[in-house]
Chains A and B, each alone.
Chain A
Amino acid sequence: MSQVFGPWANTVAKLSIVLGVFFVAGSLALLDTVTRSSYVRYTGIARAQPIPFSHLHHANMGIDCRYCHTTVEEQAFANIPPTKVCMDCHSMVWSDSPMLAPVIESWETGEPIQWTRVHDMPDFVYFDHSAHVNKGIGCATCHGRVDQMPLVWKEQPLYMKWCLECHREPEQFIRPREEIFNMAYEMPENQLELGKQLVEEYDVKTHNHRLMDCWICHR
């Protein structure tokens, strides 16, 4: 009876180990790519909503972000407006449109509209809108040009790495307070210089990289 494994088996054994390493590394790379893909993160994907509400249209009419998102300057949570705010105008404007039917229905029944959430921070992250807005971080820095989005999508992936880019060097992204709600704001050429000045002026706590402490976001 001849040997089951001839000398070739040595080659196969070594080869399978080498290929195994590639397989593991490849799977890891694949996993990483998938979890960071827009398919999983929903970046750049316009989300369907119960009413095709267009930020593009409403912003172009000159309505300030804060007309609807009233709490953004004072509270951690930037509120989604209640149906009442829609009805401020739509009690008369376009009130017969079939697209608005869910708003009218919500207004009549008192049943809230169930919007699809676009930006959902994990529950283990503490995020405060008012802190950012009052210290010189504009809406568009994180949310992108919402004023140009017919249906809103997520512009940034919201990785921890992405948050830290700014927490490490806020001077790269900070802007004057008067420009927070200016969606078309562009950073000046001397951004670093101006940024450092604003960080100081707004008392952004960059000393000892304090914004990089774990507890700043995980409390």
Chain B
Amino acid sequence: MGKCTKKWPQWCIRMGVLSLVLSMTLLGSGCELRKKMYDQPRYKTYAQSDFFEDGASARPLVEGTVPRGFLREDGHFYRGMVEGNFATDFPDRVEITEELLWRGKERYDIFCSVCHDPAGYGNGMVVQRGFKAPESFHTERLRGMPDGYYYEVITSGYGMMAGYAAQIPPEDRWAIIAYVRALQLSQFATWDDVPEAVREDLEAGVL
């Protein structure tokens, strides 16, 4: 045993060394090194870029090009058009199921109800705040419009309504159309249309 350890017990020296090492590591890693790992020289989504003139790393599509997987040859499904006219039915790959209708309701409530209101009369919250009221889905004109027309309006917009192609993928557009059709049916339904099974609930006000 050395002189030092007699006066200063070993644990004391160990603690001293440990705290020194600890503080050095913490302070050393605290600044530059850590920063470089936090912000690594690569682009994450929407990161700023010094390379491109407009400062955005996310690049717009080069004009006249089609990205891989976006050829979209199926005109019925992707544009709602059949031989140059609005499609009058749903494309083959869209199967109308209860699940599709629920999906359509969810998407309708997110994207459409803000203006068209939950029932489709065109008195949504944004309209109440000053947006031009859209036509009710329950007018004779709109009830008579083909499915493809709805698809086109969702995709490209109509009048003051902007196109929703960027927010709503094609599958969901068809789901929404299916739900709008259900809404249109619901507003003109008669007592005879109500299935036996739910009549009792309806009368009691459960549904």
Q: Tell me if B37 and A91 are in contact (CB < 8 A).
A: no
**B84 on the interface (CB 8 Å rule)?**
no
Would A123 and B19 be within 8 Å (CB), given that A67-B114, A70-B167, A92-B160 are in contact?
A: no
From A66, A111, A123, contact of B110 by CB (8 A): A66
Q: Tell me if A85 and B167 are in contact (CB < 8 A).
A: yes
Task: Please name 22 pairs of A and B residues whose Cβ atoms are closer than 8 Å in the assembled complex, sorted by A.
Answer: A21-B15, A21-B16, A35-B30, A61-B114, A67-B110, A67-B111, A67-B114, A67-B167, A70-B166, A79-B45, A79-B46, A85-B167, A89-B129, A91-B162, A93-B126, A93-B129, A93-B131, A112-B54, A123-B37, A123-B38, A123-B42, A124-B40
Complex Cα spacing A124 to B40, Å: 8
Complex Cα spacing A35 to B27, Å: 11
Q: Tell me if A21 and B160 are in contact (CB < 8 A).
A: no
**B96 on the interface (CB 8 Å rule)?**
no
CB of A99 to closest CB in B, whole Å: 15
**A163 on the interface (CB 8 Å rule)?**
no
- Cβ proximity bits B43-84 to A, threshold 8 Å, 1 near / 0 not: 011100000001010000000000000000000000000000
Q: Tell me if B109 and A64 are in contact (CB < 8 A).
A: yes
CB of B126 to closest CB in A, whole Å: 5
When distances are taken between beta carbons in the complex, the residues of chain B under 8 Å from A112 are 54, 56
Q: Which residues of A contact B (CB under 8 A)?
A: 17, 21, 24-25, 27-28, 31, 35, 61-64, 66-67, 70, 76-77, 79-80, 82, 84-85, 87-89, 91-94, 111-112, 122-124
Closest 10 pairs (CB-CB, A-B): A123-B40, A77-B45, A64-B110, A122-B38, A24-B19, A88-B162, A61-B125, A93-B130, A92-B131, A70-B167
Q: Which residues of B contact A (CB under 8 A)?
A: 15-16, 19-20, 22-23, 26-27, 30, 37-40, 42, 44-46, 54, 56, 109-111, 113-114, 125-126, 129-132, 160, 162, 166-167
Complex Cα spacing A66 to B111, Å: 8
Q: Tell me if B125 and A24 are in contact (CB < 8 A).
A: no
Contacts beyond the supplied A27-B23, A64-B110: 20 A-B pairs with Cβ under 8 Å: A17-B16, A21-B16, A21-B19, A25-B19, A28-B19, A28-B22, A28-B26, A31-B26, A31-B27, A31-B30, A67-B111, A67-B167, A70-B166, A84-B166, A85-B167, A87-B162, A91-B160, A92-B160, A112-B54, A112-B56
CB of B132 to closest CB in A, whole Å: 6
From B46, B129, B160, contact of A80 by CB (8 A): B46
Complex Cα spacing A99 to B39, Å: 32
Q: Tell me if A92 and B125 are in contact (CB < 8 A).
A: no
When distances are taken between beta carbons in the complex, the residues of chain B under 8 Å from A35 are 30
CB of B24 to closest CB in A, whole Å: 10
